Copies of this chain bind each other. A is one copy, B any other.
């Protein structure tokens, strides 16, 4: 049965390619038994699909657990049908418990809770209003009733649909509004055929509550996935990705490709790319996280907005890194002589910013005050000053070709921007540390001293 479903999905996905191929090869040129070729094609695709599924499971084993949890929740609510006493009290209304489980059960606790609360409240509110609408429509007689009901349904559907366009409401209450439209329409219309509207609302509400609670309870108790924890980790790992790039950038940029090796096959330098498009994911996780109760080190009113602020600054830094990355692979590169003059300073700037970002990432992960990061930021700022001094001292002689200076100057300037961005990120991480009262742990191993002057810890 499942195999049938999977083959359907694959063939649907593959229809486009397959049909294009058919056209390419030409129907006449292919001879008859095309079925053999097609079945081989399907076999390859099925194998590819299974290896993709295995990879999905290996990448994040919580996905496998979530699927089993969804199966469990659904099997549990189907007891409403199998167990006679339960079926006696709810009858076909038990269907709503099943529907609720299917649509409410989401990957994270926050998403499940958000949808559950939205569904519950919307059903309650819409149920109440639909009863009122039914009573009002009842007053207008058998012929007037459907007209009045129709007007009510039209008006509420139109207004609620329009309100769903409001971005602030869409972010948190979109599902609630959908359920509001659904429940109000169903109950007020059913009232035309069935006068037991109150009982209908009562049963609906009860089954939705049972379905919703089943989801929430399983979601919270069985290997819970917290959106807040995911957002926390995402912000930290994004910072770490930028740190890895910056740590590697200096050496990679100033190294001359001597033995014809290509610089482009450096996967550790490509990790930052996912940061560029992380906004949607961060926003969604923050929205889910707001529904979550206290768990582990996260309170109910955890400062998720501060996480989004840190995320935005990290992305700003990633845009600069994207520009830097362009220079890594640029065709025209400055001669070794010119680059070597600022190599040390630029490498330090990049390396120290990278270390600072990795320290900040680690500080978020462990929720410990980022002392070492401040020192690295001081070091990177000192390098900026060193670069200024170098440039002022008339680093280049008269024979230096300005054309060759430009790319190096650009890289230096982008690195200065990165240092500024890193300092901004550090500042907002420090704000977060103050808000959440991060643990203060004195560093056991003293980090390297800055190159010039004394480090002023905590100035950034």
Question: Residues of A at under 8 Å CB distance from B?
Answer: 1-2, 4-6, 8-9, 12-13, 49, 52-53, 56-57, 63-64, 66-68, 70-72, 74-75, 78, 81-82, 87, 92, 95, 98-99, 102-103, 125, 129, 132-133, 146, 149-150, 152-163, 165-166, 168-169, 172-173, 177-178, 180-182, 185-186, 189-190, 192-193, 276-277, 279-280, 315-316, 319-320, 322-323, 326, 388, 391-392, 394-396, 398, 401-403, 405-407, 409-410, 412-414, 417
This chain's copy number in the assembly: 2
The CA of A60 and the CA of B298, in the complex, are separated in Å by: 40
Cβ A74 vs Cβ B9 within 8 A = no
A92, A99, A150 — most chain B CB neighbours (10 Å): A150
A66, A159, A412 — most chain B CB neighbours (10 Å): A159
- Closest Cβ of chain B to A220, distance in Å, is 18
When the two chains form the complex, which single residue of B13, B71, B154, B180 contacts A74, counting CB atoms closer than 8 Å? B154
Q: List 16 A-B contacts (CB under 8 A).
A: A1-B132, A2-B156, A4-B129, A13-B169, A56-B162, A67-B157, A71-B154, A71-B155, A75-B153, A78-B189, A98-B182, A319-B322, A320-B326, A323-B414, A391-B405, A394-B402
Find chain B residues with CB under 8 A from A78 CB: 149-150, 153, 185, 189
- The residue on B at minimum CB distance from A181 is B102
The CA of A82 and the CA of B147, in the complex, are separated in Å by: 9
Cβ A161 vs Cβ B66 within 8 A = yes
Cβ A154 vs Cβ B413 within 8 A = no
Known A13-B168, A388-B403, A402-B395: A1·B70 in contact at CB below 8 Å: no
Find chain B residues with CB under 8 A from A391 CB: 401-403, 405-406
Cβ B53 vs Cβ A166 within 8 A = yes
Find chain B residues with CB under 8 A from A414 CB: 323, 410
Cβ A160 vs Cβ B5 within 8 A = yes
Cβ A154 vs Cβ B75 within 8 A = yes
The CA of A49 and the CA of B173, in the complex, are separated in Å by: 15
Cβ B158 vs Cβ A71 within 8 A = yes
When the two chains form the complex, which single residue of B72, B189, B319, B320 contacts A154, counting CB atoms closer than 8 Å? B72
The CA of A81 and the CA of B326, in the complex, are separated in Å by: 63
Beyond A276-B319, A391-B402, A398-B398, 6 additional pairs, beta carbon < 8 A: A2-B160, A70-B161, A71-B154, A74-B181, A81-B192, A92-B190
- The residue on B at minimum CB distance from A325 is B319
When the two chains form the complex, which single residue of B67, B163, B405 contacts A159, counting CB atoms closer than 8 Å? B67
Cβ B410 vs Cβ A74 within 8 A = no
Q: Which 9 A-B pairs have the closest CB atoms?
A: A71-B158, A410-B413, A67-B162, A409-B409, A82-B146, A71-B154, A391-B402, A71-B157, A67-B161
Find chain B residues with CB under 8 A from A163 CB: 5-6, 9, 53
Cβ A158 vs Cβ B70 within 8 A = yes
When the two chains form the complex, which single residue of B162, B398, B406 contacts A409, counting CB atoms closer than 8 Å? B406
Find chain B residues with CB under 8 A from A157 CB: 67, 70-71, 74-75, 102
- Closest Cβ of chain B to A249, distance in Å, is 16
